[in-house]
Amino acid sequence: MQKTAFIFPGQGSQSIGMGKDFYDNSDVAREMIQNASDATGIDFKTLLFEENDQLEQTEYTQPAILLVSAIAHRLFEDAQNIKPQFALGHSLGEFSALVSVGALDYIDGVKLVHQRGKLMKEACEGKDAGMMALIGLDDESVEHLTAQARADGKEVWAANYNSNGQIVAAGKKSDLAAMESLFKEAGAKRALLLNMSVASHCPLLQSAVAPLKESLETALQDSFIAPVVSNVTAEKYNTKEEAITLLPEQLVKPVRYKQSIEKFDNEIDLFLEFGGNVLKGLNRRSTKKPTHSITDMASLEAAYEALV
Distance in angstroms (rounded) separating the CA atoms of residues 218 and 232: 22
Active site residue 181: no
- The 10 Å Cβ neighbour count of residue 48 is 25
Dihedral sign for Cα atoms in the order 224, 225, 229, 233: positive
Environment class of residue 152 by beta-carbon count within 10 Å: exposed (0-12), middle (13-18) or buried (19+)?
exposed
Q: Radius of gyration of the chain from Cα atoms?
A: 19
Which one of the listed residues 13, 201, 230, 260 is annotated catalytic?
201
Active site residue 114: no
Which one of the listed residues 13, 26, 69, 91 is annotated catalytic?
91
17, 64, 75, 192, 218 from 49: Cα distances, Å: 4, 11, 19, 29, 32
Among the listed residues 20, 77, 6, the one whose alpha carbon sits nearest the alpha carbon of residue 296: 20
* Residues annotated catalytic, as ranges: 91, 201
